[in-house]
Amino acid sequence: MKKIALIASLLLMSAAAVGQTYSNANLSGTYSVQFGSPEASYWSKTFACPTNSSVTYTATGSQTTMNVSSGAATFDGTGGFTVTITGIGQVNTTASANTMSVTWNSACQVVNVNNGHVVYVASTSKTQSGTYSVLSNGTGSMSEVGSSQGQTFILAGTNSSGVSTTVLMTNPQVNGKSIGAGIAVHQ
C-alpha cells in the first residue's frame, strides 16, 4: 500500500510540473538528508559437543533491519555535490554470532538452540563528494566518487527562486525492487 501511495504522489507531482523545464540549477544549496535501506542480516556459528568435538551443530540467526543515514548535502547548482552523513543500523555479524548458544545432552544431541540476537556496529560518519544531473522533466541521478551505487531522484517542488525545496530519492532497482528511499529538504 505504501508503494502505491508513493507512486501516486510521484505521478501527481510530475503532472503538476508539466510545462516546467528543470536543470542542474534547480538543485542548489544545502539540504537536510535522510535515507533508509532495509537489510536482511544473517549470522551463524558452529558448536562442538563438549564431550566429543567431532560432533558439531551449526546454528543460524537472522533479522531484518534498517540502515538509516542522515546528514547534510550541499549541491552547487552545476552538477557537483558534497554530503556529510552519519549512518546507523549496520549489523555486526561476528558479534551477533557470539550471542548464540547450543545446549547438548550427554549423548551429544542438541536439546536447545539460542539463535542469538542482532548486534549493531557503532554509528559511522563520512563526507563524500559526487556529481548529479537533473533532466528537463525534474528527474535525475547522482553518484558519489568511489561508489558503485548511485541514486535516482525527482524534484518534488520549487520555491519562488526556482530552487527545489524537496527531493525524493531512491537507490536503483535490484532484482526488480527498490532497495532504499530517502528525502532531502532545502534549508
Q: Is 8 a member of any domain?
A: no
- DSSP-assigned states of every residue in the chain: -HHHHHHHHHHHHHHHTTT----GGGSEEEEEEEEEEEEEEEEEEEEEETTEEEEEEEEEEEEEEEEEEEEEEEEESSSEEEEEEEEE--B-HHHHHTT-EEEE-TTS-EEEEE-----BPPPEEEEEEEEEEE-TTSEEEEEETT-S-EEEEEEEEE-TTS-EEEEEEEPPEETTEE--EEEEEE-
At 8 the pLDDT is 42
* pLDDT score, position 16: 47
Q: Is residue 4 part of a domain?
A: no
pLDDT given at position 60 = 95
Place of cell 541514486: 151
> 2 lies in a domain?
no
> Is residue 152 within 8 Å of residue 170, measured between CB atoms?
yes
Q: What is the pLDDT of residues 34-53, one digit of tens each?
A: 999 888 899 999 999 999 99
Q: Which residues of the chain have pLDDT under 70?
A: 1-19, 173-178
Q: Show Cβ contacts of residue 133 under 8 Å, excluding neighbours closer than 6 positions.
A: 24, 79, 140, 141, 142
Query: For residue range 106-136, what is the model confidence (pLDDT) as tens digits?
Result: 999 999 999 999 999 999 999 999 999 999 9
Give a yes or no: residue 22 inside a domain. yes
Owning domain of residue 173: 14-186
Residue 180 lies in a domain: yes
Nearest to 22 by CA among 34, 30, 32, 13: 13
- The answer as to whether 37 is a domain residue is yes
If one counts the domains in the chain, the total is: 1
**Residue type for 35, please?**
F
Task: In whole angstroms, give the CA distance from residue 159 to residue 163.
Answer: 6
Residue 3 belongs to some domain of the structure = no
Residue 120 lies in a domain: yes
Output the pLDDT for position 95.
97
